[in-house]
Structure 1
Amino acid sequence: MKHVFYFIFFLLFSTTFCRITKFKIDNDDRDGFLLRDFGFNKKGTIKFNIKFLEIDSFMSNPPDVGFVIQKIDDEDFDQLDWPNCPNNFADNFAIIAKQEDWKKGFVWQTTINETQEGEYSIYYRNCESSQVSFDIVLTLYNEGPNYLSAGEFPLPGIYLLFFLLYLSVTSLWIMFLVKNRKKTRVNRVHILMSVLLVSKMLAMLCKSIEYYYIKNTGLPNGWNYPYYIFAIFKGILLFIVLLFIGTGWAFIKRSLSSKEKKLFAIIIPLQWLDNMAMVIVSETTQASKEWTTWETLFRLIDIICVCLILFPIVWSINHLKSVASIDGKVAKSLEKLKLFRQFYILTVAFIYFTRIILILFERALTYQTKWVSPFFDELATFLFFIYIGYKFRPEPNNPYLRIGEVDEESSEEDDIDAINLDDFSFQEPTLRNLNENSQKDEESADPNDGNENDDDNDNENENDKK
């Protein structure tokens, strides 16, 4: 766990949150790694500035180190042979330099022409896996200069559009809560929904401004940090709201079971860590040794968390099925069951679409249409928020809230029945006393009646024996 926080601390204070990428390689013996992917139109520019190169093996022939700029749609892209130097790849931009050339500093720049347009991957290559240290500034931009990749050009406007949509929906939602606070129950989950909308709205605003500054300057100018704060807060709140709705808390029951509380205790810390790290890792360079491991790990944690939030919904559905089979209130139980099934199906569809479908869909996009994937991601999230708000809105005609009122009435009836049973059990000793007193009165009142009763009892015993 200590290494996790060290890694996050390193990411927070690194300077790679932009298209002007600055980072330091320290005693790295890897034979190669990916620096960044970027889509170039014509007149796009790639610029390297390398300083303070140090190689640990000082031989008569110092090993070659350098960079390969590989076009992703090339046939040789998947056949890149890492152990060998890239001199044989004629279609690549190969930047190979000797140690003496880099020691005092090395600057290299090229411009993409019309026939070279496309998406490129920029790799570092170490031909003999020697331990190498250097500082690098990598600058990538299109004509303008526009520091966004060719497939990211529409993103500032897209995030601004969703900010305006969330602003409108948040305003309508808050007005609706204020208007209906006296007519229906506005509970704590509705308040959490409002905070969720506000945090998502502010995250979209910060993201739009961040991309605007990156487009014009290559740097986010500090807008990435408030975006991280609101995005992390939004991610945690979304899971809390889904868990509360899935368990029916504040809607159809007022407390959580011990099993549900344990689930909260597991998911919330995991989701907090996962959201914080995923936002930061997605903004950092892939040159870090741990980047691939941590990126895979945090995506795995995210999938585990989204699967765990389905458990309360499944528990509620199974409970309602059992109640419908043994309870006399079958219609009410089936109405609950229908609502929970709808919520379950929509939640699964949202998770499957945003976590799996979009990743596969993005791989099929061209380098100029990469913006389509984040657009559909935000659109799916927006529609899912609309669904949750509409389905669980505080309105007298809302069947979900009406079920909650019915449950409260039924629980009150159950309480009354329990009181009557208690009263009955409480009166039982008094009935025994009455029976004993009546027997004493009969015996003292008429001895002949007692003899007759004895004879009758003897006759009954003889008949039983026969």
Structure 2
Amino acid sequence: MAEVPSSSLIILLLIFSFSISFVLSEIRFSEIRSDDRTIIPLDEFGFTHRGRLELNVSHISLSIPSPSPNPNPDLSNLGFFLCTRDAWLHVLQQLEDAEISCPLQSHLLKIVFTFHSLHGADRFDALHLQSEADQYSLVFANCLPEIKVSMDVRSAMYNLDGRTETRDYLSAGRTVLPRIYFLFSLIYFALAGVWIHVLHKKRLTVFQIHFFMLAVLILKALNLLCEAEDKSYIKRTGTAHGWDVLFYIFSFLKGITLFTLIVLIGTGWSFLKPYLQDKEKKVLMIVIPLQVVANIAQVVIDETGPYGQDWVTWKQVFLLVDVICCCAVLFPIVWSIKNLREAARSDGKAAVNLMKLTLFRQYYIVVICYIYFTRVVIYALETITSYRYLWTSVVAGELATLAFYLFTGYNFKPEAHNPYFVIDDEEEEAAAEALKLEDEFEL
């Protein structure tokens, strides 16, 4: 039997750790075709003390080269196991120290099924009872590099309710997500109602950007509502029953409109100027197609699962595109700050431009904080938080998004009495002096 090369252990660890960080479990169907990977991660789940794993594998086919260097391979070196992340780290250490030559030989793993029990059959059904509460990953190991494996895998992981014996297909740390998403959807619908009232009350000073902000609010609310229904159906049945399609649609529209709104506000479109410059249009032409790519990547990531050989590539594409979009939307705000600074020195309205300049600087800082928190801090929370409290990272992300929406709406709301028109001479002189001191400080 061939040993797993020690030089590949770090690569296996990275792939394994990367692939189990974002999977939301449900009944999953995996088609594996002529695959010779040593490790194939399939799914992840947070079990309670009454956890269950149903594993149904069919159409098993092993491709052995002819002539084969090992005509009688030991099929106990092919099989499925459950492991925690900590256990996997110890298994990698055992492999590196040559204590074992295959992960399936480690006593730290919970073996579900190995192929030596097939006895010539091409399918099997296994039920694994999991009484030790923890976050586990379902993995297939192939320690026979000369063999390529093909099979259809159906995996269903769930927890039983202690009183009603009903199945809960959501991981232990995510079972409250349907209620969380539904609550936030109600909050955004309420905000949309308040915003409609504001637009009606101050309709004489409403710009097109304000209607666009209303559309973003409604799409966010609908996205959360569909996500709540999606997770609710998964929780009860293990499948989304079509709600995932609506979720992807509204997620796509919400993502595009939110990034577009940040760009439009950053340029001052409609409330400062009625048009977009060519360079600002180019930013939109970059951001919108990238958001399309990001949403396609997200669908592929969610629907295929980590067993796909291109899953990690799609994950990298999604992260790269998201970073590019986040960086691109900052440029229009920087351009507006630069234009306002130049206008403050030349048009004689220092106080007006200083107020606008301060507002855009604040918005720039808030956008950076929002992007950093929702992309970096939330990921760190998911990494360090116990599997039982993974829902807290969702709440933190939604609260940050809500705060960003509230800041944007409050600071760029329609004003019936524009404060820029009631600035006296003393304020004008003070603003001019402030701009002068600022220029001297920068020099």
Structure 2 equivalent of residue 122 of structure 1: 138
Counterpart in the other structure of 2:155: 138
Matched-pair contact (CA < 8 Å) for 2:118–2:124: no
Alignment of 1:45-444 (within 5 A): 45-57=52-64, 60-64=71-75, 65-74=78-87, 76=90, 79=93, 81=95, 84-94=101-111, 95-98=113-116, 100-101=118-119, 103-113=121-131, 116-129=132-145, 130-143=147-160, 144-181=166-203, 183-184=204-205, 186-397=206-417, 399=419, 402=420
The letter of the residue matching 2:199 is L
What are the Cα deviations for residues 228-258 of structure 1, in whole angstroms up to 9, with x where unaligned? 1001000000011111000011011111111
SS across alignment from 2:168: coil
Provide the rounded CA distance (Å) in 1 between the counterparts of 2:418 and 2:396: 29
Whether the 8 Å contact between 1:55 and 1:99 is mirrored in structure 2 is no
319 and 332 in structure 1: CA distance in 2 versus 1, 3 angstrom threshold: same
Mapped contact 1:180–1:395 kept (Cα < 8 A) = yes
Residues 367/78 of structure 1: CA separation in 2 closer, same or farther (3 Å cut):
farther
Name the CA distance, whole Å, in 2 between partners of 1:242 and 1:381.
13
Contact 1:214 1:220 in 2 (8 A): yes
Q: Deviations over 1:275-294 (max 9, x none)?
A: 33225424541100000111
8 Å contact from structure 1 (residues 44, 112) kept in 2: yes
Q: Using the TM superposition, name which of 134-143 and 315-324 deviates more.
A: 315-324
1:138 and 1:177 mapped to 2: Cα distance? 51
Name the CA shift for 1:367/1:17 in 2 (closer, same or farther; >3 Å): closer
Cα separation, 1, equivalents of 2:199 and 2:304: 40
Counterpart-to-counterpart distance in 1, 2:253 and 2:93: 42
Instruction: Judge conservation of contact 1:228–1:280 (CA < 8 Å) in 2.
Output: no
Residue pair 1:17, 1:219 contacting (<8 A) in 2 also? no
Q: What is residue 3 of structure 2 aligned with on the other side?
A: none
Question: Relative to structure 1, is the Cα distance of residues 119 and 71 closer, same or farther in structure 2, using a 3 angstrom cutoff?
Answer: same
Cα distance per residue 1:285-320 (max 9 Å; x no partner): 110000011101111110111111000101111222
> Percent of pairs identical after alignment?
38
Quote how far apart the aligned CAs of 1:63 are.
5.0
Counterpart of 1:76 in 2: which secondary structure?
helix
Task: For residue 373 of structure 1, give the secondary structure of its aligned residue in structure 2.
Answer: helix
Q: 1:346 to 1:273 in 2, by over 3 A?
A: same
Alpha-carbon distance between aligned partners in 1 of 2:186 and 2:35, rounded to the nearest angstrom: 46
State how far apart, in whole Å, the 1-side matches of 2:354 and 2:280 are: 23
CA distance in 1 between partners of 2:234 and 2:213 (Å): 31
* SS of aligned partner of 1:50: strand
Give the deviation of 1:272 after TM superposition: 2.0
2:431 maps to which residue?
none
2:398 maps to amino acid: E
Task: Quote the residue 1:412 is aligned against.
Answer: none
Residues 7-22 of structure 1: pairs in structure 2 closer than 5 A: 19-22=26-29
- Compared with structure 1, are the counterparts of its residues 256 and 160 closer, same or farther at alpha carbon in structure 2 (3 Å cutoff)? same
- What are the ranges of 5 or more consecutive residues in structure 1 without an aligned counterpart? 1-15, 404-466
Deviation at 1:175, TM superposition (A): 2.2
Deviation at 1:178, TM superposition (A): 2.2
Q: Residue by residue, what CA displacement relative to the aligned partner does 1:141-167 show, whole Å, maximum 9, x if unpaired?
A: 001311110000110110010011011
Cα-to-partner distance string for 1:312-352 (whole Å, 9 max, x where unaligned): 10111122223333443222221111010011011111000
Q: TM-score, normalised by structure 1?
A: 0.78
Aligned equivalents of 1:385, 1:177: Cα separation in 2: 16
- Whether the aligned pair in 2 keeps the contact of 1:50 and 1:102 (CA below 8 Å) is no
SS at match of 2:276: coil
Measured at CA, do residues 77 and 153 of structure 1 come closer, stay the same or move farther in structure 2, by a change above 3 Å? farther
Say if 1:205 and 1:164 are closer, same or farther in 2 by CA, change over 3 A: same
- Equivalent-residue separation in structure 1 for 2:116 and 2:268 (angstroms): 66
Q: Do 2:293 and 2:321's aligned partners in 1 also have CA atoms closer than 8 Å?
A: no
Q: In the superposition, relative to structure 1, how do residues 380 and 101 fare at CA in structure 2: closer, same or farther (>3 Å)?
A: farther
Query: In the alignment, what sits opposite 1:464?
Result: none
Please say if residues 53 and 99 of structure 1, whose CA atoms lie closer than 8 Å, have aligned partners that are also in contact.
no
CA contact (8 A) 2:61 2:122 kept: no
Give the alignment's Cα RMSD to 1 decimal.
Answer: 2.1
After alignment, is 197-206 or 276-285 more displaced?
276-285
Between 1:266-275 and 1:218-227, the stretch displaced more is: 266-275
Q: Assess if the C-alpha contact under 8 Å between 2:91 and 2:108 holds in 1.
A: no
Contact kept? 1:17, 1:284, Cα under 8 Å: no
Equivalent residue pairs, number: 382
Kept after mapping to 2: 8 A contact 1:52/1:102: no
DSSP 3-state at the match of 1:47 = strand
The range that moved more, 37-46 or 17-26, is 17-26
Structure 2 stretches lacking a partner, 5+ long: 1-22, 161-165, 422-443
Larger Rg: 1
TM-score by length of 2: 0.82
Specify the SS of the correspondent of 2:167: coil
